[in-house]
Structure 1
Amino acid sequence: MQIARLNGNLVHYRVDGAEDGAPVVFANSLGTDLRLWDKIVPMLPAGLKLVRYDKRGHGLSGVTAEPYSMGTLVSDAEALMDHLGLKDAVFVGLSIGGMIAQGLAAKRLDLVRAIVLSNTGAKIGTREIWNDRIAAARQGGVEALADATMERWFTAAFRDSDELALWRNMYVRQPLEGFIGCSAAISGTDFITPTSGLRLPTLGIAGSDDGSTPPDLVRETVDLVPGSDFALIRKAGHLPCVEQPEEYARILSDFLARVGHANG
């Protein structure tokens, strides 16, 4: 575990793999922390420098007053990469992390040579939906949204397993201000125009049973980028790296090899 003061906030991050390896940066979803990627990290090719971090208001990072803008979250990722001296990284973002990936690629192509847009969209939901979720969280805490979220996030088979409790616990233990802040950032984001201007290797990953960012949304988003690839993971919901880690790691590893970032 490491922490750095960036943009007036403390950012918790972790580096695995080779110190001098080609960098891969991971950004996680709303309501999760960097442990989202625990299952797939050991399965990725050797020799990579794997960087994970808790976004603002999540995990062990600092919490600032809400609301947050997507521009702030993108700047946080940018500041962390500058702090670590990372260039030409593959940036893997899931859900809101995928929005951060799109914004970062549009802003700092020197930092990002390829992006993976996992279970995300150029626009996710509507302002009304997010306003309703924010209002519910203000009234009843993150707990008020937990059961409906778990149903959208995971397949029925996974929801019947004991492991569901880990992800529900992680979700409800995220700081309320961070949850509301990032929800507001998603609510205010429409990246259709900037993402359609991107020209870099792009992979979309979707879960067949994702109730938050359905496969069609992910496909429509990556189709904005000419030459992009798309992969659908069966028997997985919003967090396929949790439900189908072997398949997720295989798809990601193949992409890293295809773009010359790792040995095939």
Structure 2
Amino acid sequence: MITAQINGIRIAYEDTGGPGHTVLLVMGTGSPARVWEVHQVPALKAAGFRVVSMNNRGIPPSDECPHGFTMDDMVNDVVGLIEHLGCDNVSLVGTSLGARIVVEAALARPDLLSRVIALAAHARLEPLQQAMTRGEIELAEQACPPPADYRAAVMALQYLSPATLRDEGLAQDWLDMFAFDDGRISAGHKAQLQISQSLGDRRPAYRNISIPLLVVGFSDDAAIPPRLSREVAEVVPGAEYVEIADAGHFGYLEKPAEVNRLIINYLRRSFAATGAIEVPEDIRVRHV
């Protein structure tokens, strides 16, 4: 990865280059930018976009900043990277914590952005998500992860759709992948978790967002239920909402073709266009 000094720390990023419109991808809690490379980077690159993906602070080789940081710090990292690249009129795509970062960036620096796509967006957390986050922070402090099989099963229930888990072969593949990691929560990952604990309800603030926003919810998302994503679209003026059926929190990995087509369709649409986003007929959408 390329590294740059942004806001006094090292931020690592990948850049496909090229003359196309720049799309910056922002990942969720505890995950590196390479997760985007499985499906989203190749699809966007093939569609003619310049694709940049970054490791948020907290995730090496970006600086971990183990003593903690704020949402404003993470938003400023995105802004700083855009400025480092010498870009404006950039589109942002984020998922989970990354969705919160890109929506906050839309509020803070609309002058740099053309549009934003937020997967599993949320303006607040409910008691269940808050309890899960507190528990993960306590696990990080104890430095004693649960047994691999148990951890993998919990992650599968938390992040995947029941439709995925009904396929026993596919479910086993996911379980094997989840169990491969040792389950330890690093200091940087813990610092990202602590951000969610400190944020309140941002719905009133989001009423002031002025750039185009597409919110994508996942019908079976147990980590960020789609009702929380729909709330964001309801308060942001002119925002659009699409909900992907049979997809969990990792919907962009479970249903990559559908998610990629939605992203590309939205990015390609003329900025002057009006009316609802066109959803390709082969995408299974839960109409709400």
TM-score normalised to structure 1 length: 0.89
> Does the CA contact (< 8 Å) of 1:202 and 1:229 recur in 2?
yes
Q: 1:168 to 1:179 in 2, by over 3 A?
A: farther
Q: For 1:43-82, what aligned pairs fall within 5 Å after superposition?
A: 43-44=43-44, 46-82=47-83
One-letter identity of the residue aligned with 1:15: D
CA change 1:2–1:23 in 2 (3 A) is same
Of residues 180, 188, 192, the one that matches 1:182 is 192
Report the equivalent of 1:31.
30
SS of equivalent residue, structure 1 residue 62 = coil
Contact in 2 for aligned 1:105/1:112 (Cα 8 Å) = yes
Alpha-carbon distance in 1 for matches of 2:146, 2:254: 22
Question: Alignment partner for residue 151 of structure 1, among 154, 157, 161?
Answer: 157
Q: Which amino acid aligns with 1:131?
A: R
Superposition deviation, residue 46 in structure 1: 2.9
Deviations 1:158-199 (A, max 9, x none): 5713144335546836x6111110111112123222212112
Match of 2:135 among 116, 132, 136: 132
Aligned residues: 260
Determine the structure 2 residue equivalent to 1:240. 251
**Larger Rg: 1 or 2?**
2
CA contact (8 A) 2:26 2:93 kept: yes
**Structure 1 CA distance, aligned partners of 2:60 and 2:183?**
11
Q: Among 262, 265, 284, which residue is 1:254 paired with?
A: 265
Aligned to 2:89: 88
**Counterpart Cα distance in 1 of 2:107 and 2:241:** 20
Of 180, 194, 208, which aligns to 1:197? 208
Aligned residue for 1:74, secondary structure, equals: helix
What SS does the corresponding residue of 1:172 show, helix, strand or coil?
A: coil
Segments of structure 1 that go 5 or more residues without pairing to the other structure are none
**Relative to 1, partners in 2 of residues 1:81 and 1:133: Cα closer, same or farther, differing over 3 Å?**
same
**TM-score, normalized by length of structure 2?**
0.82
Query: Does 1:99 find its partner at 2:110?
Result: no
Instruction: From the superposition, tell whether residues 223 and 24 of structure 1 become closer, same or farther in structure 2 (CA, over 3 Å).
Output: same
CA distance in 2, matches of 1:24, 1:221: 21
Asked whether 1:172 is paired with 2:183, we answer yes
- Tell me, what secondary structure is at the counterpart of 1:223? helix
Q: CA RMSD in A?
A: 2.4
Taking a change above 3 Å as real, the CA distance of residues 90 and 75 of structure 1, as seen in their structure-2 partners, is same
AA matched with 1:34: A
Given that 1:117 and 1:222 are in contact with CA atoms closer than 8 Å, whether structure 2 keeps it comes out as no
